[in-house]
Amino acid sequence: MSHTAPARIAYLAAEYPAVSHTFILREVAALRRLGLEVETCSIRRTDPVHHKGDAEAAEGKRTFHVLNTARNPKALLAAQKPALTQPKTYFSALRRAWSMRAPGIKAALYQLIYFAEATVLARHLQTTGITHLHGHFANASTTVTMLAAELANIPFSFTLHGPSDLTDPARWRLDLKVARAAFVSCISYYARSQAMLAAHPDHWDKLKIIHCGVEPSRYAPAKALNTAPEIVFVGRLAAVKGVRLLFDAFQTARETVPDLRLTLVGDGPDRAALETAAAPLGDAVTFAGYQTQDAVADILARSDMMVLPSFAEGVPVVLMEAMASQIPVIATRVAGVAELVQDGTSGFVLAPGDVDALARAIVTLAQDPARRAIMGKAGRAQVEADFAIDGEAQRLAALFRNTHPDHPRPEGDAF
């Protein structure tokens, strides 16, 4: 059977562009550089705080927003026209949405909402001539992706990340999504293993390793060493990132290296509480808030180490950015982190929640500039070899090009 490249690809995310998901923006840009037409769609319109840079602002303007359209009664009604013109397809997708519901009235209501969103998106896909739909994260937005692709009669695929889309694979019917997808882009071997656990072995060959990636050229090697060692944390200020643990380790480390400084880049629901918790540390801790990609690169270039003591992760792109900046990283041994960071070579990989080990690792790097430099160079080399976005985009583009527009799907409602 001959294979043809999809003429037009659409990407769907729950929120796009978003500060915490710049890897999607990079992936889209890299695919476009390879000559693929990629349209972007988002369930919700993101707040302007997510549009810090020119690229983010431009993407925000060109992205189709499902809920904004669905709030227009005429547009929502028009999206239900296939109930009359293509009843078999329409009601098959509706039955599938209903069959995926979790127990409870609220869960059932959400499935109907996802179906309504899918009808609006499907109409947009057909109007704009989209021939392949790709989602990011395997939870609600990929439920919409799968249903919209069925309504529009086009193939779909999705990227499996973690941790959020791996915490409850039964609820989000990861097995069904893998079965019906043309392929699944797994960001790590860990993510692929969890998909293998959920999916039938007949579909394991669809599970492909495609890393999230960075542009190494964006990140200049760290500059002159600081008199006072600078630690940087980049991420959402949320419980899962372990920032309170970082404060405890930082305070302990300062007993040995009193001039240590810590900058936190990012924002989130825990910021106010974390600012209160950090108050006893005075001006040794700086909250920098959200920053553009270029600003983050500048901060990394002025830092001596990155620390990310998360309790759950996928494969953190911020660690790739730090490694591309030739600074060592300290991270926790969760999910796919050890696939990126080589313990003792490009940084330290520690047991999650071990504040004493975290403090010792910080002190070790703070007191050994030569070791920091060696680790930094090793990290940069690994990112260039395995996590550069252009190489990952080429692999993803090949998957899109090898997906036939008439990709067969399972028939009926067996799933």
* pLDDT, tens digit (0-9, with 9 covering 90-100), for 316-373: 999 999 999 999 999 999 999 999 999 999 999 999 999 999 999 999 999 999 999 9
Q: With bands split at pLDDT 50, 70 and 90, how would you rate the model's confidence at 223?
A: low
pTM here? 0.90
Q: With bands split at pLDDT 50, 70 and 90, how would you rate the model's confidence at 21?
A: confident
Q: Picking from 113-117, 232-236, 289-293, 361-365, which range would have the lowest pLDDT averaged per residue?
A: 289-293
Kindly state the tokens that stand for 150: 């069925």
Question: Does position 388 have pLDDT exceeding 70, yes or no?
Answer: yes
Question: Does position 290 have pLDDT exceeding 60, yes or no?
Answer: yes
Q: Which residues pair with 134 in a beta bridge?
A: 11, 157
How many CA atoms does the CB half-sphere of 393 hold within 13 Å? Answer: 21
- If phi > 0 it is left, if psi is from -120 to 50 it is alpha, else beta; for residue 242 that is left
CA separation for the pair 321, 298 (Å, rounded): 11
What's the confidence (pLDDT) of residue 139? 94
Q: Picking from 21-25, 341-345, 382-386, which range would have the lowest pLDDT averaged per residue?
A: 21-25
CA atoms 11, 17, 18, 21: torsion sign: positive
Kindly state the tokens that stand for 310: 């998360």
- The type of residue at 222 is A
Question: Does position 38 have pLDDT exceeding 60, yes or no?
Answer: yes
* pLDDT, tens digit (0-9, with 9 covering 90-100), for 240-285: 999 999 999 999 999 999 999 999 999 999 999 999 999 999 999 9
Question: Does position 376 have pLDDT exceeding 70, yes or no?
Answer: yes
| Domains of the chain, CATH where assigned | 9-213+390-401 (3.40.50.2000), 216-387 (3.40.50.2000)
Q: Are 329 and 323 in contact (CB under 8 A)?
A: yes
What's the confidence (pLDDT) of residue 55? 84
Burial class of residue 406 (count of CB atoms within 10 Å of its CB; 0-12, 13-18, 19+)? exposed
pLDDT above 90 covers a percentage of the chain that reads 85
Length of the chain (residues) = 415
Output DSSP code: residue 61. Answer: H
Kindly state the tokens that stand for 246: 């970082």
CA separation for the pair 366, 362 (Å, rounded): 6
Question: Does position 88 have pLDDT exceeding 50, yes or no?
Answer: yes
CA separation for the pair 106, 81 (Å, rounded): 26
pLDDT above 70 covers a percentage of the chain that reads 94
**Closest residue by Cα to residue 233 from 333, 341, 310, 340:** 310
Q: Quick one: average pLDDT of 123-141? A: 96
CA separation for the pair 165, 188 (Å, rounded): 13
- Residues 6 or more apart whose Cβ sits within 8 Å of residue 404: 1, 2, 3, 4, 155
**Closest residue by Cα to residue 35 from 411, 369, 400, 363:** 400
Q: Quick one: average pLDDT of 305-322? A: 96
Whose structure tokens read 């904004």? 68
Q: What is the mean pLDDT of the chain?
A: 92
Question: Does position 222 have pLDDT exceeding 90, yes or no?
Answer: no
Question: Does position 410 have pLDDT exceeding 80, yes or no?
Answer: no
